[in-house]
Amino acid sequence: MKTIMFNDEPYGLTDAILSGVKTQTRRIVYPSKSHPNKSFQDLTGMRFGRLIVICQDHVDAYRKIYWKCQCDCGNIAIVRGNALKSGNTQSCGCLKHEIRNVKHGMTNSRLYNIWSKIKSRCYVKTDPAYRRYGFRGISMCEDWEDNFIAFFEWAIYNGYSDELSIDRIDVNGNYEPSNCRWSTPKEQSNNRRSNIPITINGITLNLQEWCNKLKINRNTVNTRVRICGWSYETALTTPVRKHNECKSRRQHKSNDTD
Ligand SMILES: [Zn+2]
């Protein structure tokens, strides 16, 4: 058993995932008539993350109170009261150590690879994909950019699994929690296709927007384009016929690309 003294240790969501500890920061104030400092709060017996306060340890030159705490891992830690109450310190340091190990252990993982590839296509000008991302102003939110763990936590809480890929809901939007989801390759390609810009009579909308505007079923348009080989413009603007559509409309086939 070792005794550790420190003031601050960042504690985030991951700590809770790792430890399975529900953070209890009880705000019960024990009145102490004898204590000269009116705001004094006896923390004895309280739990802060992995730490349970055993007793008061000492008061420093700045009159800050330090508490002797028992960590779930067995170590004893001497921690400043404010650090306990603010949630900055939630263990003897073992949590921080575990996070570091997870972070390190993850560098070869699929999620880490996804995260670093996104960063690369958004920020590395020599990346072949940069033109389609960073160059077009697509970026990664600050929370994720320098913090793989934040991205990792979002992924786990939002249905990540190994067969899914990250997908931006708005393909012109950024990589950020509100615009990202995990989806199958099929869902992704549907999303991409529905976002192809299509210009008809000088108006540019994506496929789904055109379908809504012209009140035509998207599957009909997709069939006309992929199976019959029509252009998107013809597929969208030709009234729907009931029979032999492909055969009778082959003459509409054009060289338009999508
Ligand atoms: Zn510990």
Tell me the per-residue pLDDT of 143-192, one tens digit each, with 9 for 90 and over.
899 888 889 888 887 888 889 999 988 888 899 999 999 998 888 877 77
Q: What are phi and psi of 183, to 5 degrees?
A: -140, 165
Q: Which amino acid is at 37?
A: N
Q: Which amino acid is at 36?
A: P
Domain shared by 186 and 200, yes or no: no
Tell me the per-residue pLDDT of 88-109, one tens digit each, with 9 for 90 and over.
888 998 887 777 776 667 777 8
Q: Is residue 258 part of a domain?
A: no
Q: Is residue 42 part of a domain?
A: yes
CA 144 to ligand 1 centroid distance, Å: 28
Q: Is residue 29 part of a domain?
A: yes
Domain span at residue 226 reads 196-252
Q: Which of 84, 90, 70, 106 is nearest to 12 (CA)?
A: 90
pLDDT at 97: 78
Question: Is the pTM value of this prediction over 0.85?
Answer: no
Alpha-carbon torsion (158, 159, 161, 163), positive or negative: negative
Which among 84, 101, 118 is the end of a domain? 101
- Asked if pLDDT for residue 205 goes beyond 90, the answer is no
pLDDT at 56: 95
Mean pLDDT of the chain: 79
pLDDT at 94: 85
Domain shared by 20 and 82, yes or no: yes
CA 112 to ligand 1 centroid distance, Å: 27
Q: Compute CA distances 115 → 33, 40, 64, 168, whole Å.
A: 55, 46, 42, 14
CA 166 to ligand 1 centroid distance, Å: 35
Query: Average pLDDT of 230-240?
Result: 90
CA 95 to ligand 1 centroid distance, Å: 7
Cα–Cα dist 132/195, whole Å: 14
Q: Is residue 257 part of a domain?
A: no
Domain shared by 94 and 16, yes or no: yes
Number of domains in the chain: 3
pLDDT at 28: 41
CA 53 to ligand 1 centroid distance, Å: 13
pLDDT at 156: 82
Domain shared by 90 and 131, yes or no: no
Domain shared by 201 and 180, yes or no: no
